[in-house]
Amino acid sequence: MVSYWKHYHTPETVEEAIAALRGYDGRARVIGGGTDLLVETRRGLRRPFEAIVDASRIAGLNTIERDPQHIVIGCGVTHTQIVNDPNIQRHGACLSESCGVIGGPQVRNAGTLAGNVAHALPAGDGSIGLLALAGEVEITSTAGRRWVAAKDTFVGPGKSVIDRHREVLTRLRFKPTGTGEGSAFHRVMRPQGLCLPIISMAARLTVDGDRIVAANVSMGPVGPVPWFAEPVAQALIGGPATDAQYEKAVDVALSNVTLRTSKYRATEEYRRTMVRTYLPIILATAAERAGAKR
Ligand SMILES: Cc1cc2nc3c(=O)[nH]c(=O)nc-3n(C[C@H](O)[C@H](O)[C@H](O)COP(=O)(O)OP(=O)(O)OC[C@H]3O[C@@H](n4cnc5c(N)ncnc54)[C@H](O)[C@@H]3O)c2cc1C
């Protein structure tokens, strides 16, 4: 039988996890639910590891909490926990919706949001949901803990600023949507066959009457990293929450992204049509949830 690692550690504290990683000096790898890492390892895309350090069983990091300003998600929290959490459903709807489309129930029961973000794939659905909420991640290493904007962790396809051999993404957080704020996510998929997303998009809007006063938009896969679509957000801010304004945002989005034709996804033309069709719906849903007057 093939062995994919020699040693498997299940630390109960962050300090133990960091100490274990330090002991292997780059030859160990952090794992969450394993739904990406083990699949890749079994397919021979990764060499066997000297050791695995399991971050999913660290005490206190498998819960969803609130601090005075944020909803805080531990690295052991699964997609299922996020989908079922009433606070996230209400105050981070786009994250709940994005985690809800990941894989099937088995994958959602094991896979974590931390793993989705740390994996840094351009189409990571949880990452796209978190980006629209302007989420942040806490990275813990021997040097201590630091909070980093999630958008700044993505370096390239599968590449993250998080050194997954030495550091642990310990928590994720975002400011909950409140009065005058709403968010929404949608993914376009092939109905059958290989399940690669054609396009995933999310938005968070703050409205005052019929005016959009703040916006975040995210999309993927539209380039090497999940896209925090600042130009699209800028096109929305200050304008009315109307279809005409959403069309302007679509134009800005389409002029900024690379939607390549892929036999596993769709043609460029079809993908552009999906952005044109669904981005206005996502924006209108977020605005409606924010209580925009039309
Ligand atoms: C059948 C199937 C369907 C899927 N469908 C989807 C889908 O629809 N949408 C989607 O976005 N994804 C999908 N995935 C991919 C995967 O399930 C998700 O990306 C999931 O969120 C990964 O989380 P995990 O905890 O399993 O990560 P793991 O596999 O444990 O790890 C993924 C990567 O992150 C690193 N890592 C994990 N946790 C940490 C941590 N706490 N600190 C530092 N590094 C860490 C690992 O070293 C590894 O590089 C699917 C996977 C399968 C097998």
Report the distance separating Cα 91 and Cα 106, nearest Å: 25
Type of residue found at 87: N
Residue 130 pLDDT class (50, 70, 90 cuts): very high
pLDDT value at residue 44: 80
Q: What is the pLDDT of residues 94-109, one digit of tens each?
A: 999 999 999 999 999 9
Does residue 110 surpass a pLDDT of 90?
A: yes
Q: What is the pLDDT of residues 281-292, one digit of tens each?
A: 999 999 999 998
Taking CA atoms only, the protein residue closest to ligand 1 atom 9 is: 102
Q: What is the pLDDT of residues 8-18, one digit of tens each?
A: 999 999 999 99
Q: Which of 97, 262, 263 is nearest to 177 (CA)?
A: 97
Query: Using a 6 Å cutoff on CB, does residue 168 contact ligand 1?
Result: yes
CATH code: domain 1-176 is: 3.30.465.10
Does residue 1 surpass a pLDDT of 60?
A: no
Query: Using a 6 Å cutoff on CB, does residue 126 contact ligand 1?
Result: yes
Which segments of the chain belong to CATH 3.30.465.10? 1-176
Q: Which of 3, 230, 235, 35 is nearest to 132 (CA)?
A: 230
pLDDT value at residue 42: 85
Region 173-179: mean pLDDT is 97
Does residue 191 surpass a pLDDT of 80?
A: no
**Ligand 1 centre and the CA of 263: distance in Å?**
24
Report the distance separating Cα 212 and Cα 100, nearest Å: 27
Query: Using a 6 Å cutoff on CB, does residue 34 contact ligand 1?
Result: yes
pLDDT value at residue 4: 82
Top mutation candidate among 42, 119, 162 for ligand 1, by most atoms within 8 Å of CB: 119
Q: What is the pLDDT of residues 135-174, one digit of tens each?
A: 999 999 999 999 999 999 999 999 999 999 999 999 999 9
Q: What is the pLDDT of residues 83-93, one digit of tens each?
A: 999 999 999 99
Which segments of the chain belong to CATH 3.30.390.50? 181-290
pTM attached to this predicted model: 0.96
Region 52-74: mean pLDDT is 97
Q: Which of 246, 239, 235, 245 is nearest to 277 (CA)?
A: 246
Which of ligand 1's atoms lies nearest the C-alpha of 127?
11
Say how many CA atoms lie within 13 Å of 171 toward its Cβ: 19
Percentage of residues in the chain having pLDDT higher than 70: 97
Does residue 293 surpass a pLDDT of 80?
A: no
Q: What is the pLDDT of residues 235-275, one digit of tens each?
A: 999 999 999 999 999 999 999 998 989 888 889 999 999 99
Residue 59 pLDDT class (50, 70, 90 cuts): very high
Does residue 47 surpass a pLDDT of 90?
A: no
Q: Which of 177, 191, 188 is nearest to 290 (CA)?
A: 177
Least confident piece of the model among 45-59, 146-160, 172-186, 200-214: 45-59
Which strands form 227-228's sheet, in the order they lie side by side?
181-189, 197-208, 211-220, 227-228
Nearby residues of 69 by Cβ (< 8 Å), 6 or more positions away: 175
Query: Using a 6 Å cutoff on CB, does residue 218 contact ligand 1?
Result: no
Encode 210-249: b = buried (16+ Cβ within 10 Å), e = exposed.
eebebbbbbbbbbbbbbbbbeebbebbeebbbbeebbeeb
Say how many CA atoms lie within 13 Å of 246 toward its Cβ: 19
pLDDT value at residue 278: 98
Query: Using a 6 Å cutoff on CB, does residue 55 contact ligand 1?
Result: yes
Q: Which of 87, 181, 186, 170 is nearest to 128 (CA)?
A: 186
pLDDT value at residue 192: 64
- The CATH number of domain 181-290 is 3.30.390.50: yes
